Structure 1
Amino acid sequence: MICSKIYGQYFMVCQPVEIEKHQGKNFFLEGKIFYNDEIKNNSWVVLSALFLDEKGTGIKNTIYNDDAGAYYKQGEWSSYQLNGKIDKKAKYIAVGITVAGSGSYHVDDFKLFIQDGKNKIEIPLRNAGFEDISLAPWQSQNIDKDTKLSLTNDKYFSGKKSLFVDNSNVNTTSTIGNNKKAGKFMDVNGVKLYYEVYGQGEPLLLIHGNNASMASFDRQIDALSKKYMVIGLDSRGQGRSTSDNKKLTYELMADDVNTFLDKMNLKNVNILGWSDGGNIAVILGMEHPDKVKKMAIMGTVLYNNETSVFPDINKILNEQVKEMKKNGVSENDMNYRLKILLLTEPNINPDSLKKIKAPTLVMAGEHDVMPEKHTKLIADKIPNSKILIFKGTDHEAPSKISEKFNKAVLDFFE
Structure 2
Amino acid sequence: MKYIKFLSILFFLNYFTSYAQDSGIYQTVSIEKYAGKNFTIEGKIYYTTELAYGSYGVLGVSFYDTKGKIINKIIYNDDAEDYYKKGEWSNYELSGKINKNAKYIGVMAAFGGNASYYLDDFKLFVKEGKNKIEIPLVNPGFEINSLQNWQTYSKDKETKFTLSKDQVFSGKQALLVDNSTVKPLPTLGNNQALGKYMEVNGVKLYYEIYGKGEPLLMLHGNNSSMAIFNRQLDALSKKYMVIGLDSRGQGKSTSDDTKITYEVMAEDVNTFIDKMNLKNVNILGWSDGGNIAVILGIDHADKINKMAVMGTVLYNDDTSVVPGTNKILRAQLKEMDDRGLSKNSMNYRLKMLLLTEPHINPDSLRKIKAPTLVMAGEHDIVTENHTKLIAEKIPNSKLVIFKGSTHSAPQEIPELFNKTVLRFFDQKN
Give the alignment's TM-score, normalised by structure 2.
0.87
CA distance in 1, matches of 2:380, 2:424: 21
CA distance in 2, matches of 1:381, 1:366: 20
AA paired with 2:343? E
Residue number in structure 1 paired with 2:94: 81
Q: Which of 71-80 and 248-257 deviates more? A: 71-80
Residue number in structure 2 paired with 1:412: 424
Structure 2's unaligned 5+ residue stretches are none
1:95-134 matches, cutoff 5 A: 95-115=107-127, 120-134=132-146
AA paired with 1:386? K
Contact (CA 8 Å) 1:219, 1:402: kept in 2 or not?
A: yes
Give per-residue Cα distances to partners, 1:70-128, cap 9 Å, x unaligned: 851433522312444257474x5432212222333332221223456775442222221
CA distance in 2, matches of 1:316, 1:229: 38
Identity %: 61
2:403 matches 1:386:
no
1:12-31 matches, cutoff 5 A: 12-19=24-31, 27-31=39-43
AA paired with 1:147? T
Q: Which of 239-248 and 19-28 deviates more? A: 19-28
CA distance in 2, matches of 1:330, 1:357: 41
Residue number in structure 1 paired with 2:318: 306
CA distance in 1, matches of 2:209, 2:394: 29
Contact (CA 8 Å) 2:59, 2:94: kept in 1 or not?
A: yes
2:248 matches 1:217:
no
AA paired with 2:137? L
CA distance in 2, matches of 1:65, 1:71: 13
Structure 1's unaligned 5+ residue stretches are none
Contact (CA 8 Å) 1:73, 1:329: kept in 2 or not?
A: no
Correspondence for 1:336 among 325, 348, 358: 348
Cα offset, 1:65, TM superposition = 2.3
Contact (CA 8 Å) 2:40, 2:93: kept in 1 or not?
A: no
* Equivalent position SS for 1:367: coil
Q: Please tell me the root mean square deviation across aligned C-alpha atoms, in Å.
A: 2.5
* Equivalent position SS for 1:394: coil
1:276-291 matches, cutoff 5 A: 276-291=288-303
Residue number in structure 2 paired with 1:64: 75
Correspondence for 1:246 among 242, 246, 258: 258
Contact (CA 8 Å) 1:211, 1:338: kept in 2 or not?
A: yes
Cα offset, 1:60, TM superposition = 3.9
CA distance in 2, matches of 1:266, 1:333: 33
CA distance in 1, matches of 2:345, 2:292: 21
Give the alignment's TM-score, normalised by structure 1.
0.90
AA paired with 2:333? V
Residue number in structure 2 paired with 1:167: 179
Contact (CA 8 Å) 1:364, 1:394: kept in 2 or not?
A: yes
CA distance in 2, matches of 1:253, 1:30: 35
AA paired with 1:270? N
CA distance in 1, matches of 2:217, 2:155: 35
CA distance in 2, matches of 1:20, 1:385: 48
Cα offset, 1:54, TM superposition = 8.2
